[in-house]
């Protein structure tokens, strides 16, 4: 697999997202705990050394699974989490992003994952957050302080605009940016372009179209299935290969709870998109 320097970690560009491991709706225990543990172990055995997670996946489920499956961790494993939200008693997603909440969130991740330091933590802004303001500056201060104290090796941002990234870059290095991006949703293209200019890792979430829709709009798109048939690959492999080719700073974290899907998702490094297939997929954006 191709590598990317994520701070001091040399990570394979195909990593793993842990959001599909808890139960339905990212709530509660996994449907199949043994399979969830096996997915994590198999991923690392296959060379994955970049795992994305959050304390609020479950809540408290993905991190516990990661620790149970993989602790003590390989030295080269980059664990990346995010703060800025929590779950309420009914499982709703709630913004939790005052500076002291962010700090608490970082500490919760360290404790549950069983580490003294994380490779990066993303400051996750709410969907549709307004332009950078004083609140954002205070949030950044909390992230920068956590970095200076050694709790996190790098500051990341999630669900941000170009304006947020530019403001953050005035104050600190940004190790990674995690925004929604896939074949059908390129709204974060300007953010990806800025990351590319600065050599910052861009980590698209929902790369496969996410699990939140009853029918996956990306994997069932007729042009995607046609391209997959032409390539002799699955729709997921086709989509991931297209995404990986966006740039050397693009790191994939497809989410799956399935060993079979994991195997597919990791077998994409050698897929070459011929010009016609690439043009057909490019045109979907």
Ligand X SMILES: NC(=O)c1ccc[n+]([C@@H]2O[C@H](COP(=O)([O-])OP(=O)(O)OC[C@H]3O[C@@H](n4cnc5c(N)ncnc54)[C@H](OP(=O)(O)O)[C@@H]3O)[C@@H](O)[C@H]2O)c1
Catalytic residues: 57
Q: State the Cα–Cα distance between residues 82 and 30, nearest whole angstrom.
A: 20
Give whichever of 95 and 258 is closer to ligand X, judged by the CB atom. Answer: 258
Residue-level length of the chain = 285
Q: State the Cα–Cα distance between residues 200 and 198, nearest whole angstrom.
A: 5
Give whichever of 24 and 150 is closer to ligand X, judged by the CB atom. Answer: 24
Shortest Å, Cβ 84 to ligand X: 8
Shortest Å, Cβ 170 to ligand X: 22
Give whichever of 234 and 277 is closer to ligand X, judged by the CB atom. Answer: 234
Per-residue HEC secondary structure of 41-72 comes to: HHHHHCCCCEEECCCCCECCCHHHHHHHHHCC
Shortest Å, Cβ 27 to ligand X: 14
Give whichever of 135 and 261 is closer to ligand X, judged by the CB atom. Answer: 261
Q: Which positions touch ligand X (CB under 6 A)?
A: 17-20, 52, 82, 124, 158-159, 178, 205-211, 219, 234, 236, 253-258, 261, 264-265
Shortest Å, Cβ 110 to ligand X: 18
Q: What is the DSSP letter of 14?
A: B
> Residue 79 forms beta bridges with which residues?
51
Q: Are 159 and 125 in contact (CB under 8 A)?
A: yes
Which token pair is 189?
């293209």
């Amino acid at each position: 697999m191709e590598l990317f320097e994520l701070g001091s970690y040399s990570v394979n560009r195909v990593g793993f997202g842990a959001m599909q491991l808890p139960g339905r709706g990212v709530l509660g225990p996994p449907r199949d705990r043994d399979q969830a543990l096996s997915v994590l172990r198999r991923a690392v055995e296959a060379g994955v050394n970049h795992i994305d997670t959050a304390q609020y996946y479950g809540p408290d489920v993905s991190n516990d699974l990661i620790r149970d499956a993989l602790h003590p961790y390989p030295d080269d494993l980059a664990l990346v989490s995010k703060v800025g939200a929590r779950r309420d008693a009914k499982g709703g997603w709630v913004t939790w992003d005052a500076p002291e909440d962010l700090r608490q969130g970082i500490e919760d991740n360290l404790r549950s994952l069983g580490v003294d330091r994380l490779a990066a933590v993303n400051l996750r802004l709410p969907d549709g957050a307004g332009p950078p303001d004083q609140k954002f500056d205070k949030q950044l201060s909390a992230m920068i302080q956590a970095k200076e104290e050694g709790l996190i090796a790098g500051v990341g941002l999630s669900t941000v605009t170009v304006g947020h990234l530019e403001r953050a870059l005035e104050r600190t290095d940004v190790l990674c940016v995690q925004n929604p991006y896939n074949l059908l949703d390129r709204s974060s293209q300007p953010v990806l372009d800025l990351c590319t200019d600065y050599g910052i890792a861009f980590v698209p979430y929902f790369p496969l179209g996410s699990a939140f829709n009853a029918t996956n709009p990306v994997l069932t798109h007729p042009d995607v299935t046609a391209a997959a048939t032409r390539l002799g690959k699955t729709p997921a492999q086709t989509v991931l290969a297209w995404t990986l080719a966006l740039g050397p700073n693009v790191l994939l974290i497809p989410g799956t709870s399935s060993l079979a899907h994991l195997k597919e998702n990791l077998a994409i490094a050698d897929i070459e998109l011929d010009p016609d297939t690439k043009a057909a997929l490019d045109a979907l954006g």
